[in-house]
Structures are given as C-alpha cells and as structure tokens.
C-alpha cells in the first residue's frame, strides 16, 4: 500500500494497524482541541495567555523527543555531526510561527465567520505546493477529493453548529462568533492569501526536509522544536504585560498542552513517513470529532450543514484513498 493510498510502502499488517491507530488518534486530538479550550474558560474567557500555552506545548514536545533519544527508543545516528543539519529547521519554525501570528492579525481585517470559510483555501495551496515542490502528480479523482474537502470545510464553517465557542487555534466550531457583520477588507484578502501560502509552504517544506535527511525522527524533532521554543519564548516575552507563564492554568489547560504536544509529534511522523495530503485529511476529518464533542460537552446543536459537510468529507476520503 502506497502513501497516496493511505498507508506506507513495506509495512506489515501489524505496523500498518499501528499507523492507522496513530492517524485516528491524531484526528481525535485535533477535534478535541477547541472543546477542551472551551472547558478552560473562566467567566467567558481563557484565563491564561495564548503565548504561554504555545510555548509550553513546544517545550513539552522538545522534552519528549529528547527523552526518547536518551532512553534509546530511537537510535542515535552513527558517524558525522548531525548538528550541522539543524539549521534548515529554523525556517520551518519561522514559517509555523509566522502562520500562527497571521491567524491573529487576520481577525482585524475580517469577521471570524468569513475567516473560517476562506481559510479552507489553504487546502488548495498545500496541494499545489505539494505537487510543485515534491513532484507528485495528483489524478483528477484526487483533485476532486481535495476540492470536496475545501467545500466541506466551508460548509462546516458557515453553520455546522448553532452556537459558537471562542478558541485559540485549531479546528473551530464554526458559526457566527458574534453579532459582528460579515466583512473583509482588501488588506484582509491579501493577508489571507499570504496565510494560505505560508500554511502550505510550512507543511510541504517540513515534509521535504524530514524525508531528505537520513536522521532519526526524534533528532529532527529536537532541531525543529528547539527553534520553536526559542521563537515562541521571544514572542511570549515581547507580548507585553499579562498573566505569568503558568498563571490561570487548570487541569483542562494542562490536558490541552499535552494533547497538542502529542499531536505535534504524530504530525511529524506523518510528515516523515506519510505526506502533507494525509495531514489535510486528518485536519478535515477532525471537524466531525470537533462537532460531536462540542454537541456532547458544550451542548451545541448540530445542523443540517454539519451532516452535509460530514458526507462531503467521507466522499473525499473515498475518492482519494479508495480503489481506482
């Protein structure tokens, strides 16, 4: 089974089963992110600084990768000086950091609902860069599947749930977040195009880098998350006065950090052994998990639009990964 068919070439049935379980776990953690953040709210707001959560997530990922190398879960490379291959990961960290900050700035130039609908264009930009940079050709069937993913995401964002939940990042229960009228400025559209381009580029560049280097994944992650910690430490320090690093954290907040750290490590494995397209399907499928958890935990009501989006996602998966 090939990567484009949803598996990894050369894996036996047991390892393929573990790969499938890992994909399902990642989908669940992506989908649980927004509901868990909503459970962190105190008096209608998140009680801790968003930069604190991001910094602690990056630090947790770095510690887990270092631990896996120290205990021998992954072998240390023999010969040479692997540290010389660390520099390219600085660009990955910079791209991810720029993308995360663009999400915040975009809210100044368009309403949240418009952002949620238009941000699905990053599926198209990722697929385009995937083909151009990695020299993969997608069939018409696969291209149609990705188009359906974009439509499904837009449908869900346009009204998959009847109420809204304010979150920091990740898949959002997307309905009108407030009474703010629909609007978007020319600068907002320009920033959105930049956001979609950087989102696709960060994913494809990281995949290309991880596959070209003959280094253990844990060591590559150490390179990536070291730069990530340094970058987010600078952003946290420069974000002005506010709550302390751990101020406002609860058990739910700790669960958010831990789940996002584990999910980040799984995404690294997907980039190295799978593809950026696999990541797109994980994020899109997580919308279903997100909606169901929001309905159960937050008492939000699913709409007809949600079921339409779910149907489109299922059809996209069938078209892309099903037998031709």
Residue 117's pLDDT band (boundaries 50, 70, 90)? confident
Distance CA 72, CA 84 (A): 22
Residue 169 has pLDDT above 50, yes or no: no
Residue 148 has pLDDT above 50, yes or no: yes
Residue 132 confidence (pLDDT): 94
Give the number of C-alpha atoms closer than 13 A to the C-alpha of residue 4, restricted to the C-beta side.
16
Residue 1's pLDDT band (boundaries 50, 70, 90)? very low
Distance CA 113, CA 147 (A): 20
Residue 167 has pLDDT above 50, yes or no: no
Residue 234 has pLDDT above 60, yes or no: yes
Is 258 part of any domain? Answer: yes
Distance CA 126, CA 208 (A): 13
Is 44 part of any domain? Answer: no
Is 37 part of any domain? Answer: no
Region 279-305 average pLDDT: 89
Mean of pLDDT over the chain: 84
Regarding pTM above 0.75, the answer is yes
Is 92 part of any domain? Answer: yes
**What stretch of H or E contains 226?**
helix 217-237
Is 207 part of any domain? Answer: yes
Which range of residues forms the domain containing residue 222?
A: 81-164+181-237+250-323
Residue 262 has pLDDT above 60, yes or no: yes
Token readout for 69 is 């190398």
Residue 8's pLDDT band (boundaries 50, 70, 90)? low
Is 267 part of any domain? Answer: yes
Residue 114 confidence (pLDDT): 76
Residue 103 confidence (pLDDT): 79
State whether residue 173 is helix, strand or coil: coil
Distance CA 92, CA 83 (A): 16
Number of domains present in the structure of the chain:
1
Residue 245 has pLDDT above 50, yes or no: yes
More confident residue, 139 or 71: 139
Residue 87 confidence (pLDDT): 92
Cβ pair 283, 34 in contact under 8 A: no
Is 19 part of any domain? Answer: no
Residue 163's pLDDT band (boundaries 50, 70, 90)? low
Region 75-80 average pLDDT: 65
Distance CA 118, CA 170 (A): 15
Residue 295's pLDDT band (boundaries 50, 70, 90)? confident
Distance CA 64, CA 216 (A): 14
Is 159 part of any domain? Answer: yes
């Amino acid at each position: 089974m090939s990567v484009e068919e949803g598996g990894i070439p050369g894996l036996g049935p047991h390892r393929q089963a573990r790969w499938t379980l890992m994909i399902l776990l990642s989908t669940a953690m992506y989908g649980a992110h927004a509901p868990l953040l909503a459970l962190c709210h105190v008096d209608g707001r998140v009680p801790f600084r968003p930069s604190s959560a991001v910094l602690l997530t990056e630090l947790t990922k770095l510690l887990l990768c270092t631990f896996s190398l120290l205990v021998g879960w992954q072998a240390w490379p023999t010969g040479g000086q692997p540290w010389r291959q660390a520099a390219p990961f600085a660009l990955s960290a910079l791209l991810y950091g720029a993308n995360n900050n663009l999400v915040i700035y975009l809210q100044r130039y368009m309403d949240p609902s418009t952002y949620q609908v238009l941000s699905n264009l990053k599926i198209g930009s990722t697929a385009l860069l995937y083909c151009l940079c990695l020299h993969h050709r997608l069939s018409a069937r696969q291209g149609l599947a990705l188009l359906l993913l974009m439509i499904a995401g837009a449908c869900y964002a346009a009204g998959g749930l009847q109420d809204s939940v304010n979150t920091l990042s990740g898949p959002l229960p997307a309905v009108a977040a407030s009474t703010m009228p629909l609007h978007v400025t020319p600068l907002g559209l320009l920033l959105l195009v930049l956001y979609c381009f950087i989102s696709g580029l960060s994913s494809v560049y990281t995949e290309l880098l991880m596959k070209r280097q003959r280094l253990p994944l844990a060591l590559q992650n150490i390179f990536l998350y070291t730069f990530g910690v340094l970058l987010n430490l600078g952003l946290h320090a420069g974000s002005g006065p506010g709550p302390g690093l751990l101020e406002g954290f609860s058990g739910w907040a700790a669960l958010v950090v831990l789940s996002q750290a584990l999910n980040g490590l799984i995404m690294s494995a997907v980039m190295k052994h799978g593809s950026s397209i696999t990541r797109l399907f994980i994020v899109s499928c997580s919308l279903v998990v997100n909606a169901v958890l929001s309905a159960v935990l937050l008492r939000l009501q699913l709409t007809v639009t949600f079921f339409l989006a779910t149907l489109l996602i299922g059809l996209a998966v069938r078209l892309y990964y099903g037998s031709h």
